Copies of this chain bind each other. A is one copy, B any other.
Amino acid sequence: MREPTPRQGPVPRLFDSLTEDQYGEFRGQGITVKLASGSYLFQQGDPVDRFYAVTRGRLKLFKLNEEGREVIIRYIEPGEITAAITVLKDAVYPVTAEAVGETAVLAWTKTSLSALMRANSDIAIKLLNIAFERLNDIQQRYLELCTEQVDQRIARTLLRLMQGAGKKTDGGIEIDIPLTRQNIADYSGTTLHTVSRTLSAWDKNGWVKSGRRRITITNPHELVMFTEGSAESRFS
């Protein structure tokens, strides 16, 4: 009995505990927003007003420092949510959300989510779970940034992107996001030049194939070995 609105994407994991009726009703309260590639859903410093679930495309969440350098916090894939802090308090978004490719999101107001939380206590638990997962992820990456060399971090970045947006092709697993060298640098904590050099080396190695805004991981296993292997197996 879902489908009071036409199906527009995966059901966000947040709503796993809802019945189809409950989800249908809640979904009906949300507004679909279509975003052109590169447009901002919200920006760092804006007052928080909505809570979002991505249904198509993806969002890049990033922070800018004072000098305008961009650091990518994470990509929000279809079925994932963002800006959940909306429910809790008046705040400002701590990050900017930019659409990567043609993207659609569902947007709900503060009040609508609060009502849902009151009606279904599992939602708060689920939100808490998601928050802890993200805390874990960023803490792990913080560790890596502190202790690992740049090529190891780039390898990890590719594997993470593969995890979230990998598409099996005959040549390997393609990362289904148009990514520039700069984007990968912003995700790995380095510069586009270093990323370019590293990918070139791995291209020759046969670990990845990459072109303009396109990366295919041809040998995920070696890449994993490289992230684990503590520096002895640096490529020659």
Interface residues of A (CB under 8 A from B): 63, 65-67, 69, 71, 73, 84-85, 87-89, 94-95, 118, 121, 124-125, 127-129, 131-132, 134-136, 138-148, 189, 228, 230
CA distance A63 to B145 in the complex (A): 12
Docked-complex contact A88 and B143, CB < 8 angstroms: no
Residues of chain B within 8 A (CB-CB) of A65 are 143-144, 147-148
Q: Can you list 17 pairs linking A and B with CB atoms under 8 Å apart?
A: A63-B139, A65-B143, A65-B144, A66-B228, A66-B230, A67-B230, A69-B146, A71-B142, A73-B139, A87-B128, A88-B128, A118-B121, A124-B124, A127-B128, A131-B131, A138-B139, A145-B146
- Given A145-B189, A189-B146, A128 and B129 contact (CB-CB distance below 8 Å): no
Q: How far is the CB of A124 from chain B (nearest CB, A)?
A: 4
How far, in angstroms, from A141 to B142 measured CA to CA in the complex? 8
Chain B contacts of A148 at CB under 8 A? 65
Q: Which residues of B contact A125 (CB under 8 A)?
A: 88, 124
**Residue contact A139 to B230, C-beta cutoff 8 Å:** no
Residues of B within 8 A of A69 (CB): 146-147
| Nearest CB in chain B: distance from A136 CB, A | 5
Task: Establish whether residues B71 and A129, one from each chain, have CB atoms under 8 Å apart when the complex forms.
Answer: no
In the complex, what distance in Å separates the CA atom of A115 from the CA atom of B131? Answer: 21
Shortest distance from the beta carbon of A66 to any chain B beta carbon, whole Å = 6
- Is B88 within 8 A of A129, CB to CB? yes
Chain B residue at minimum C-beta to C-beta distance from A66: B230
Residues of B within 8 A of A71 (CB): 142-143, 146-147
Q: How far is the CA of A51 from the CA of B195 in the complex (A)?
A: 42
Most interface-central of A65, A146, A228 (chain B CB within 10 A): A146
Q: Give Cα A135 to B131, complex, Å.
A: 8
Contacts A67-B230, A87-B128 known; list 7 others, CB within 8 Å: A73-B139, A89-B129, A121-B124, A131-B135, A142-B145, A145-B145, A145-B146
Which residue of chain B has its CB nearest to the CB of A188?
A: B146
Once bound together, how far apart are the Cα atoms of A124 and B117, in whole Å? 11
Q: Which residue on B lies nearest to A88, using beta carbons?
A: B129
Most chain-B Cβ atoms within 10 A of its Cβ — which of A69, A89, A124, A132? A132
